Structure 1
Amino acid sequence: MKTLIQKIHVEEHHSFACRTYKTPDFETAWHKHLECELILITEGNGTALIGDYIGEYKEGDVFFLSPNLPHWFRKSEHKMIGSAIVIHFLKDFMGETFLSLPELKNICRPLENNDTGVQLQGQLAEDIAVIIKKMEQEEGLERIQLLLNSMQKIGSSAEQRTLTNAFDSLGGGAENALIETIIDYSFKHYLDAVSLKEVAGITRMSIPSFCRFFKRNVKKSYFDFIKEIRIGRACKLLRETDRPVLDICYNSGYNSWPNFSKQFKDVTKLSPSQYRKQHLA
């Protein structure tokens, strides 16, 4: 099982990493690293797990992740090609004195928060996507200038949505291997009637121990985790198909319309029909 801590390789002639990860290199498991991460999804779609956030990602999405924030981008289909341009940089890669300059106030703003993940929105996401694509092609000072320019734009714009905040991952290597196993199992079986006894069994824990372990590491109950995965699938089907809502209910892991309707509203704050109407407008 892969360790959670990922070692980022930076070429000798660069001060930070900027490269495309494409299938099979795109398929990294639940992991974290010391570097900040700026990521542009260039191909594929699926589910993003960022700290305690579970949601969809698609081509064109841009995320900024603080250091040591566990994350995992899982493709919606195994045979799909996944690809992203990913920038990894240490907060002080240009030195602490440089970042203390008053002219760099906006650049430092997104670097101040730890364990935080944001998704860029609207025109900001479009602008940063253009910069990221240029950055991958540049060398030398131009490359650094593009990174500083992107952080300046992020730090001075409100077009961003906080996905997770102050997420503190306490687990060590062995615990994180278990979390990866649980998440992988859950994505393979979330459409089934998963029981706590069943999932606790794969960790060789008692049910109470498993529940405490999962809540401590993922900051939510196991059934809340499953609920968010199922509702995420339902949202995708409501947006991208014209299938009847009841059919979508039964194809998202639910066998009860009242339960599906209640949980859908818990997650989205809308009824399924309201959600579809809003996203087809």
Structure 2
Amino acid sequence: MQIRYEKVPRHQNTSFYCYTNTGPRFLYSMHHHPECEIVIVLSGSGKCYISGRVIDYRPGDAMMFGPDLPHTFESSVSENIASRAYVIQFRKTIAGGYLWQLPELEKCSRLIEKSARGLYFADILSVSGDLWDETAQHNSSAGRLTALLGLLETLSNAASVSILPREPVLAMSKNPGRLMQVLNYVHNNSGDEVSVEAAAAMAGMSVSGFCKFFKRQLGRPFNDYLIETRIESACEMLMKTSEPVINVCFASGFNNLSNFNRQFIKRRGMPPNRYRTAGKRK
């Protein structure tokens, strides 16, 4: 499973990009981009994967991702409702980065710094919806920028904000740290042979030391993270291809069908065939 680089569209006469994302359901590959991103959920629920963490979302919630923080969404297959969300993407270096040095924008600056780990806002739509409308639709460019700053300040004051634990942060860089190298190894090779021995060697640790390190960093054992990554890959193949389940099983990295089915039911609450049928019926 690749962590894909997403090129955010650039538009003339605007320093940020905002749009409404609508579809039968959200199901994207894990991706990253240099822009900060705010997603406000209007309809539909499901799971948001932020680097090594998974959170449940529902209508009214919002997530904020810092630059190059890998993330994706997977809508619930049990809902017969379209997924819809407001999305805003902007560079941290907007106005050369000097904007965030203004004392009036100190709260906004702290919010952006915190978003490097990922932020989750529960039931925020009621206090952010009007500002979104102004950000997207104001008839003047200055008005749209002012509305964006107002939205950031509103989010910075939100009582319902949760800063995701430090451990899952997987920032893309040309000189990745050992945790990032290991997670890239898992995501890029999950359909093939992945071993804890190879991961430990990559991190420059003994196997026992690496297992303790990984669990301390991500709050879950290495093998559990690997299995979840393979299940995510299987879900994507089930939705996007017509490959038989047994082919999906082996392509996603499992060695036998019975173990694949058992793990899939444990983590998705239904067998692979039913997951595919439910998802394509939406």
TM-score bracket, normalised by the shorter chain, equals 0.5 to 0.7
Does the CA contact (< 8 Å) of 2:24 and 2:81 recur in 1?
A: no
Q: What residue is the counterpart of 1:241 in the other structure?
A: none
1:177/1:143 CA distance change after superposition, 3 Å: farther
Q: What residue is the counterpart of 2:68 in the other structure?
A: 68
User: Per-residue displacement from partner, 1:200-247 (whole Å, max 9, x unpaired)?
Assistant: xx322345436888959x9342454468xx9xxxxxxxxxxxxxxxxx
Q: What residue is the counterpart of 1:179 in the other structure?
A: 187
User: Per-residue displacement from partner, 1:163-211 (whole Å, max 9, x unpaired)?
Assistant: 2436134457xx75961774xxxxxxxxxxxxxxxxxxx3223454368
Q: What residue is the counterpart of 1:168 in the other structure?
A: 170
Q: Distance in 2 between matches of 1:34 and 1:24?
A: 27
**1:226-241 equivalent positions in 2, closer than 5 A:** none
Where 1:253 maps in the other structure, the secondary structure is helix
Where 2:4 maps in the other structure, the secondary structure is coil
Q: TM-score, structure 2 length as denominator?
A: 0.62
1:53/1:45 CA distance change after superposition, 3 Å: same
Amino acid at match of 1:34: P
Amino acid at match of 1:48: C
**1:51-130 equivalent positions in 2, closer than 5 A:** 51-77=51-77, 81-113=82-114, 115-122=116-123, 124-130=124-130
1:43/1:158 CA distance change after superposition, 3 Å: closer
Q: What residue is the counterpart of 2:192 in the other structure?
A: 203
Q: Distance in 2 between matches of 1:107 and 1:207?
A: 41
CA RMSD of aligned residues (A): 3.8
Measure how far apart 1:24 and its partner are. 6.9
Measure how far apart 1:44 and its partner are. 1.6
Q: What residue is the counterpart of 2:49 in the other structure?
A: 49
Q: What residue is the counterpart of 2:37 in the other structure?
A: 37
**1:247-262 equivalent positions in 2, closer than 5 A:** 253=266
Measure how far apart 1:137 and its partner are. 2.4
Amino acid at match of 1:152: E
**1:113-152 equivalent positions in 2, closer than 5 A:** 113=114, 115-122=116-123, 124-139=124-139, 140-152=141-153
Where 2:5 maps in the other structure, the secondary structure is coil
Unpaired stretches in structure 1, ≥5 consecutive residues: 183-201, 231-250, 255-281
Measure how far apart 1:147 and its partner are. 0.6
Does the CA contact (< 8 Å) of 1:178 and 1:203 recur in 2?
A: no
Q: Which moved more, 1:153-162 or 1:142-151?
A: 153-162
Q: TM-score, structure 1 length as denominator?
A: 0.62
Where 1:112 maps in the other structure, the secondary structure is helix
Question: How many aligned residue pairs are there?
Answer: 213
